[in-house]
Amino acid sequence: MIPASPAHAAYASPATPTRTPRGMEYEAFARITRRLKAARDAGDGGFVALAGALHDNRALWTVLAGDVASPDNLLPPRLRAQIFSLAAFTAQHSRKVLAGRAAPDVLIEINTAVMRGLRQETAAPAGGRA
């Protein structure tokens, strides 16, 4: 078998389709939410995995909070405020989970709700957004 030339590899059709920003956001939420669920389901033996998933979840929400705090953000002000509030709640609740005073379930629910919203927006026909 002859190995593919670098030029062939550069111009070959990609194995994965080009992702939209919303699709990438969905994938980030999905990946972190799966990790949160797996760590929760592992019980006490999954604490290290839970701490890692909580860290990544907070990092994602911190990025979102920074994005909606920007004056250049085009989302409606009310939605921006809601996302910022969820980011603050996520940070606060994550500290409680790490301290053993709360379960990660509400964080999983929030992420799942955001994923549903992203999936609906991604599936909306062009011009269908308000």
Residue 111 · residue 29 · CB < 8 Å: yes
pTM: 0.78
SS3 of residue 69 by DSSP:
helix
What does the pLDDT average to over 99-126? 86
pLDDT of residue 126: 47
Confidence band for 40, pLDDT divided at 50, 70 and 90: very high
In-domain check, residue 5: no
The whole domain housing 103 covers 19-122
Rounded Cα gap, residues 7 and 114, in angstroms: 40
In-domain check, residue 109: yes
In-domain check, residue 30: yes
For the cut 50, the answer to whether the pLDDT of residue 108 exceeds it is: yes
What does the pLDDT average to over 45-60? 97
Q: Residue 70 has what DSSP assignment?
A: S
In-domain check, residue 68: yes
Share of the chain above pLDDT 90, in %: 72
Confidence band for 78, pLDDT divided at 50, 70 and 90: very high
Considering only residues 10 and 98, tell me which one the structure prediction assigns the higher pLDDT: 98
Contacts of 39 (CB under 8 A, 6+ apart): 46, 47, 49, 50, 52, 53, 104
In-domain check, residue 11: no
Share of the chain above pLDDT 70, in %: 79
SS3 of residue 5 by DSSP:
coil
Q: The tokens of 55 are what?
A: 């860290």
- The number of distinct structural domains making up the chain is 1
Rounded Cα gap, residues 97 and 85, in angstroms: 18
Q: What average pLDDT does the chain have?
A: 86
CATH number assigned to the domain comprising residue 52: 1.20.120
* Cβ-based neighbour number of residue 28 at 10 Å: 19
In-domain check, residue 3: no
